[in-house]
Amino acid sequence: MEKKAAKLGKRRLQAQATRSRIYEAAIRLIGEEGFDQVSVERICREAGVAKGSFYHHFRTKADLIVEGYSLCDKYFEEEVRGRLEAPDAAGRIVEFIVRQVRYAEDTGLDLIRQVYKSQLENGTRFFISSERSLPSILREIVVEGQGSGELRAELGPDYITDYILRFSRGLIYDWCLHEGGYDLASVAEEAATRLARVFTAQAGP
């Protein structure tokens, strides 16, 4: 029984390693050449795997985008949750947005454009699901800020969270429309600072 469990564990680790190798090769090639220019065959050659291995882990090339959501959530769990340094709720909202757009910048313009394109053409509810780590962490910031009296209590935390996420997704989309032609993080920080004031407790209706 122990040998069988160990064997299954080894296979699982090997499968995870293969999946990661495929994804990393794909992202590297897409970053260099563009999503539409990179074929599944090219990704497999780069990753050193058979084409069948790709389709064992991903149904289509577009599924690489969904894999990116999971990695984004992992980043926010490990690097953002409980690690924001601003002393006030409004500042943490700004810091959160800056982290979000910097992740987009680091991911690369072409791949982020494909995220939006994929959602428009073959959208999954997962992208906008409130169960993802990214929105749940932001909601925690809002709830904490309302509990401390820093943020407006008459607006529900879901309303504020959704509002901020629409705002941040809009920033990233605009950056894509401008072909990444400006410093997204700097623009986001200035705009988010203005937005956060709307939700502070002293703000008007």
Query: End-to-end alpha-carbon separation of the chain, Å?
Result: 65
Residue 10 CA to its chain's centroid (Å): 29
Looking at residue 4, what is its pLDDT? Answer: 58
CATH 1.10.357 segments of the chain: 62-205
What is the token pair recorded at 146? 């309302």
Looking at residue 12, what is its pLDDT? Answer: 85
Looking at residue 53, what is its pLDDT? Answer: 93
Write down the architecture of domain 62-205 according to CATH. Answer: Orthogonal Bundle (1.10)
CB contact at 8 A, 164 and 193? no
Looking at residue 36, what is its pLDDT? Answer: 83
> Per residue in 129-179, pLDDT tens?
777 889 999 999 999 999 999 999 999 999 999 999 999 999 999 999 999
Looking at residue 140, what is its pLDDT? Answer: 97
Cα–Cα dist 43/47, whole Å: 6
Residues of the chain with pLDDT under 50: none
Residue (of 125, 21, 110, 133) closest to 66 by Cα position: 125
What are the backbone angles phi and psi of residue 131, rounded to the nearest 5°?
Answer: -80, -15
What are the backbone angles phi and psi of residue 159, rounded to the nearest 5°?
Answer: -60, -50
Tell me: domain 1-60, CATH 1.10.630.10, correct?
A: no
- Judged on CB neighbours under 10 Å (0-12, 13-18, 19+), 9 is exposed
Looking at residue 3, what is its pLDDT? Answer: 61
SS3 label, residue 125: helix
Looking at residue 5, what is its pLDDT? Answer: 57
CATH 1.10.10.60 segments of the chain: 1-60
Alpha helices in the chain (DSSP H): 2-33, 40-47, 51-57, 63-75, 89-107, 109-122, 133-147, 157-177, 184-198
